[in-house]
């Protein structure tokens, strides 16, 4: 038995996860509030029989003991392996280089790639006739060239392949451009530059490395903004625009101002408010709050004054609720129709005044939820209370909690005891709907046991490197088994077994040897390519079906908890169903497998 299997045998997933969150019995399984995101109803389930976990809520992901500890502790597979081995009392042989060095090397490559692209965009903005349009736009928005230089703004040319030709000419591979999110693959083959004819905002981490890009149109065309997709080095929910330039000023001022957009931050810094950053969207994530809290526990939210900005601030209230006792959070209310950019550039004195008039975030939430209700309508009162209960629950100080219960009671003209009773009922409420969802869900689809298709796919790639082009559409997300995922990551970095073995930890080396020893049923090169194509399509179809099922569950939750209108809003937010993609994959599979029996399904 290998180290990985022995760890899985010795460590019970229920015991492990119980160390991080409180589990409640749900039939043969367990449920809990998800430890990875804020929620008021349990969407996180643990399945002892399969030794797996799955979040049916915002995370939409799951796995085994390895994937849980990697996600929760934010560590690499090798670090998780050592941590769990220590817990299980197993000694690992650490003579060889661990696999996280492989990932670190590829991350560095992507950082360098993004930096090269950023320099090119910046050069076009400042020094070429192509960038005149972007320079005129910045001038119209009162952004100086000095500020553009400080934030390394750029311009992407109105071309389908200029950036691709530049970067491949410097020795980068198209797969690397794809992995960095700089190009998009065409369904008919080939690829094209993602960013074209846009004002470019390079996004840096706190170390100053370019993780991705934001881009803005310079007219009224939609979408107004686009961002890099999620990559190995870029995650929008974990990114803060301007954090690299604002960190020292946040520490100096003892406060961080969180705005909505790139232009808000540029204008704020240009006018001396250099402790300003942006969440790059409409609402905060817990990870973003965690990032800024390391710099200051005094947070000011300054989002737009329109309805969308108001709702975004309300959603942000729910995110920061967990930190409410240890963080001072205020809301800076904008004048009607204005955003921070408008106010700061148009009337800096007004901005200074608004900053001094910020209200505590719980007061803002209470005011926002209750200001438009009909006090003669009992149902509307009840709905308002239900929206605010999760926030009131997070107030641990009994005096403060009593203050807000009394304030809400006065606002709604109801008895404070009614709010206390509703809070007790909310805390102890049943979540039968989630249990029903789990019963309907094929839990076995979320297991991380041996997966023949994944293994056969890897064996083909390892034994026949000339087939690598067939696997260009594969990503690490298509491999559910954590060991297979690590093997694929190393194969993508090195491309040959000799280099992989030099970098590989012993437990992974055992699995690599197993894959290399698998019997390959297909004897001819043509059949091997067809077999690999079918493996790729099977893995793609599985991932698409998983996403579709999770989306259906999410919509069911939304419909039952918030009504049909909320469901339609979620549909619009999520975009087009993946059903068409599933059908396209199935059609490709039929073309490959018609009349064949490849013997590995």
Instruction: Name the residue ranges covered by the structural domains of the chain.
Output: 3-88, 99-234, 240-414, 450-593
Q: Phi first, then psi: what are they for 510, rounded to 5°? A: -60, -45
Is the pLDDT confidence value at 430 over 70?
Answer: no
Output the CA torsion sign for 218, 221, 227, 229: negative
The tokens describing 249, both together, are 């000023």
In 3-state terms, what secondary structure has residue 398? helix
Of the listed ranges 1-10, 24-33, 226-235, 259-268, the one predicted with least confidence: 1-10
In 3-state terms, what secondary structure has residue 47? strand
Nearest to 199 by CA among 183, 210, 213, 215: 215
> Average pLDDT over the chain, rounded to whole?
81
| pLDDT tier for residue 574 given thresholds of 50, 70 and 90 | very low
Exposure b/e, 3-35, CB count within 10 A at least 16 = b: bbeebbeebebeebbeeebebeebeebbbbbbb
The answer to whether 320 and 303 have CB atoms below 8 angstroms apart is no
The tokens describing 513, both together, are 């040897």
In this prediction, residue 464 carries a pLDDT of 86
The tokens describing 290, both together, are 């965690």
Tell me the mean pLDDT in the region 325-353. Answer: 89
Is the pLDDT confidence value at 349 over 60?
Answer: yes
The answer to whether 196 and 158 have CB atoms below 8 angstroms apart is yes
In this prediction, residue 550 carries a pLDDT of 52
Q: How far is CA 125 from CA 121, 139, 154, 155, 597, in A?
A: 6, 12, 5, 5, 56
Owner of token pair 């009922």: 425
Q: Highest mean pLDDT range out of 451-460, 555-564, 570-579?
A: 451-460
CATH topology of domain 3-88: DNA Primase; Chain A (3.90.580)
Alpha helices in 206-336, H assignment, sequence order: 243-253, 262-270, 286-293, 307-320
In 3-state terms, what secondary structure has residue 460? helix
More confident call, 583 vs 212: 212
Digit-coded pLDDT (tens) for 30-44: 888 999 888 888 888
Is the pLDDT confidence value at 272 over 70?
Answer: yes
Q: Which residues contact 209 (CB under 8 A, 6 or more apart)?
A: 111, 114, 115, 233
Digit-coded pLDDT (tens) for 280-317: 865 687 778 878 887 888 999 987 666 665 676 777 77
In this prediction, residue 581 carries a pLDDT of 62
Of the listed ranges 40-44, 369-373, 412-416, the one predicted with least confidence: 40-44
Q: Which residues contact 12 (CB under 8 A, 6 or more apart)?
A: 48, 51
Digit-coded pLDDT (tens) for 213-260: 999 999 888 889 999 998 989 988 889 999 999 999 998 999 999 998
| pLDDT tier for residue 533 given thresholds of 50, 70 and 90 | confident
Owner of token pair 């390895």: 66
In this prediction, residue 506 carries a pLDDT of 66
The answer to whether 160 and 196 have CB atoms below 8 angstroms apart is yes
Is the pLDDT confidence value at 469 over 90?
Answer: no
Q: Phi first, then psi: what are they for 520, rounded to 5°? A: -95, 120
In 3-state terms, what secondary structure has residue 221? coil
In this prediction, residue 306 carries a pLDDT of 61
The tokens describing 210, both together, are 């370019």
In this prediction, residue 196 carries a pLDDT of 96
The answer to whether 84 and 7 have CB atoms below 8 angstroms apart is yes
Give the Cα separation of 386 and 565 in Å (integer). 18
Digit-coded pLDDT (tens) for 69-102: 888 887 777 778 888 888 887 777 554 444 556 7
Give the Cα separation of 537 and 592 in Å (integer). 10
More confident call, 442 vs 132: 132
In this prediction, residue 439 carries a pLDDT of 41
Give the CA angle between residues 250, 252, 258 to the nearest 5°: 15
In this prediction, residue 117 carries a pLDDT of 98
The tokens describing 291, both together, are 């990032």
In this prediction, residue 361 carries a pLDDT of 87
Give the Cα separation of 344 and 359 in Å (integer). 19
Nearest to 347 by CA among 334, 357, 360, 358: 334
Strand 276-278 to 256-259 pairing: parallel
Q: Which residues contact 451 (CB under 8 A, 6 or more apart)?
A: 479, 480, 481, 484
Give the Cα separation of 494 and 563 in Å (integer). 50
In this prediction, residue 594 carries a pLDDT of 55
450-593 to CATH, choices 1.10.12, 1.10.860, 3.40.50, 1.10.10: 1.10.860
Tell me the mean pLDDT in the region 60-69. Answer: 83
In this prediction, residue 429 carries a pLDDT of 58
Provide CATH code, domain 240-414: 3.40.1360.10
Q: How far is CA 235 from CA 213, 225, 335, 375, 387, in A?
A: 11, 16, 32, 43, 29
In this prediction, residue 436 carries a pLDDT of 39
Give the Cα separation of 473 and 179 in Å (integer). 11
Q: Highest mean pLDDT range out of 158-172, 335-349, 532-546?
A: 158-172
**What dihedral do alpha carbons 305, 310, 315, 320 form, nearest 10°?**
60
Q: How far is CA 23 from CA 26, 34, 426, in A?
A: 9, 10, 17
pTM, two decimal places = 0.59
CATH architecture of the domain formed by 99-234: Alpha-Beta Complex (3.90)
Owner of token pair 């060095």: 101
Q: Phi first, then psi: what are they for 487, rounded to 5°? A: -60, -45
């Amino acid at each position: 038995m290998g180290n990985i299997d022995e760890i899985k045998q010795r460590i019970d997933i229920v015991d492990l996860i119980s160390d991080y969150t409180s589990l409640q019995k749900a039939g043969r399984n367990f449920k809990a509030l998800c430890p990875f995101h804020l929620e008021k109803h349990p969407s996180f389930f643990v399945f002892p029989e399969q030794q797996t976990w799955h979040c049916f809520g915002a995370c939409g992901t799951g796995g085994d003991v390895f994937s849980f500890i990697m996600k929760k502790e934010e560590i690499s597979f090798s670090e998780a392996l050592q941590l769990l081995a220590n817990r299980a009392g197993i000694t690992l042989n650490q003579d060889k280089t661990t696999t996280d060095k492989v990932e670190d090397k590829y991350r560095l490559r992507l950082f360098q790639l993004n930096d090269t692209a950023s320099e090119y965009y910046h050069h076009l903005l400042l020094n070429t006739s192509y960038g005149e349009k972007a320079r005129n736009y910045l001038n119209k928005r009162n952004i100086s060239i000095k500020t553009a230089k400080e934030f390394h703004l750029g311009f992407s040319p109105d071309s389908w392949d200029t950036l691709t030709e530049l970067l491949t000419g410097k020795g980068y591979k198209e797969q690397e451009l794809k992995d960095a999110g700089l190009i998009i693959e065409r369904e008919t083959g080939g690829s094209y530059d993602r960013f074209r004819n846009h004002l470019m905002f390079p996004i840096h981490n706190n170390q100053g490395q370019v993780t991705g890009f934001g881009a803005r149109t310079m007219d009224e065309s939609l979408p107004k903004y686009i961002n890099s997709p999620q990559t190995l080095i870029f995650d929008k929910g974990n990114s803060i625009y301007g954090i690299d330039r604002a960190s020292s000023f946040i520490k100096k001022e003892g406060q961080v101002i969180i705005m909505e957009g790139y232009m808000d931050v540029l204008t704020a810094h240009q006018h001396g408010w250099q402790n300003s950053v942006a969440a790059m969207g409409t609402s905060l994530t817990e990870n973003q709050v965690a990032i800024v809290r390391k710099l200051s526990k005094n947070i000011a939210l300054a989002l737009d004054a329109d309805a969308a900005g108001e709702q975004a601030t309300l959603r942000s209230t729910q995110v920061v609720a967990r930190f409410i006792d240890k963080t001072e959070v205020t809301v800076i209310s904008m004048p009607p129709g204005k955003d921070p950019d408008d106010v700061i550039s148009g009337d800096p004195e007004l901005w200074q005044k608004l900053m001094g008039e910020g209200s505590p975030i719980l007061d803002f939430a209470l005011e926002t939820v209750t200001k438009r209700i009909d006090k003669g309508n009992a149902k509307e009162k009840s709905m308002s209370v239900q929206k605010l209960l999760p926030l009131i629950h997070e107030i641990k100080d009994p005096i403060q909690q009593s203050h807000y219960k009394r304030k809400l009671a006065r606002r709604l003209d109801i008895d404070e005891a009614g709010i206390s009773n509703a809070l007790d009922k909310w805390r102890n409420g049943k979540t039968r709907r989630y249990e029903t969802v789990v019963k309907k869900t094929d839990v076995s689809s979320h297991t991380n046991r041996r997966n023949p298709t994944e293994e056969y796919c890897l064996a083909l790639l390892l034994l026949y490197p000339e087939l690598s082009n067939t696997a260009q559409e594969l990503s690490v997300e298509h491999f559910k088994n954590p060991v297979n995922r690590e093997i694929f990551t190393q194969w993508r970095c090195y491309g040959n077994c000799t280099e992989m073995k030099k970098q590989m930890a012993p437990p992974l080396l055992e699995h690599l040897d197993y894959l290399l020893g698998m019997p390959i049923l297909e004897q001819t090169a043509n059949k091997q390519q067809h077999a690999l194509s079918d493996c790729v399509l099977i893995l793609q179809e599985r991932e698409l079906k998983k996403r579709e099922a999770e989306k259906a569950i999410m919509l069911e939750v939304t419909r039952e908890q918030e009504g049909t209108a909320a469901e339609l809003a979620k549909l619009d937010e999520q975009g087009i169903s993946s059903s068409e993609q599933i059908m396209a994959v199935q059609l490709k599979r039929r073309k490959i497998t018609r009349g064949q029996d490849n013997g590995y399904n």
